């Protein structure tokens, strides 16, 4: 682990960040049981979100020259909650900078953003999150649901 200077800031990612975001998400999918990293797919998905801010927002914690952590928020509608809700995906801290509470800083920013914008709920859809990840999210008030996720993937 290496430390970054104190001049970190959190802001929405832009298209210029795409190469670094692809690297971070590919790292994440390499660790997840349900997914394979795929440069083309990660680029397509990230680009769609960056180009359509009404569908979601990618926030990054960065220095002037490096992205230290990212999180991907997708905006959708809940008939149960009666309003807009967030799907939180792709929370990744760069491997060189883990254990330094950058993930916590980013999550606090996300919760503040969600409350200010009147989102009704945040759901985590990340696959196969570890016990450590679960403890992380429990600390922010997340709770387990009774949902049983099922998926149908269409062949390319």
Site residues, a second copy (CB under 8 A): 25, 29, 32-35, 38, 40-46, 48-49, 52, 55-56, 72, 74-84, 87, 89-90, 111, 114-115, 119-129, 134, 137-138, 140-154
User: In the bound complex, what is the minimum distance in angstroms from residue 40's beta carbon to a second copy?
Assistant: 6
Distance (Å, rounded) from C-alpha 27 to C-alpha 23? Answer: 6
Cβ distance to a second copy smaller for residue 63 or 84: 84
Cβ distance to a second copy smaller for residue 81 or 101: 81
User: In the bound complex, what is the minimum distance in angstroms from residue 133's beta carbon to a second copy?
Assistant: 9
Distance (Å, rounded) from C-alpha 37 to C-alpha 26? Answer: 5
User: In the bound complex, what is the minimum distance in angstroms from residue 131's beta carbon to a second copy?
Assistant: 10
DSSP 33-89: TT----HHHHHHHHHHHHH-TTTEEEEEEE-SS-EEEEEEEEEEEETTTTEEEEEEE
Closest CA to 117 of 86, 89, 143, 140: 86
User: In the bound complex, what is the minimum distance in angstroms from residue 31's beta carbon to a second copy?
Assistant: 12
């Amino acid at each position: 682990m290496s430390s970054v200077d104190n001049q970190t800031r959190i802001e929405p990612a832009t298209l210029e960040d795409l190469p670094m975001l692809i690297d971070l998400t590919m790292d994440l999918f390499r660790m997840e049981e349900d997914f394979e990293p795929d440069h083309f797919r990660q680029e397509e998905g990230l680009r769609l979100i960056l180009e359509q801010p009404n569908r979601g927002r990618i926030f990054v914690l960065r220095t002037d020259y490096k992205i230290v952590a990212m999180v991907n928020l997708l905006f959708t509608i809940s008939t149960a909650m009666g309003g807009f809700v967030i799907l939180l995906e792709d929370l990744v801290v760069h491997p060189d900078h883990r254990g330094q509470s950058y993930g916590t800083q980013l999550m606090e920013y996300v919760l503040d953003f969600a409350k200010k914008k009147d989102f009704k709920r945040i759901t985590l859809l990340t696959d196969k999150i570890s016990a450590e990840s679960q403890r992380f999210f429990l600390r922010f008030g997340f709770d387990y649901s009774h949902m049983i996720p099922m998926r149908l993937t269409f062949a390319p």
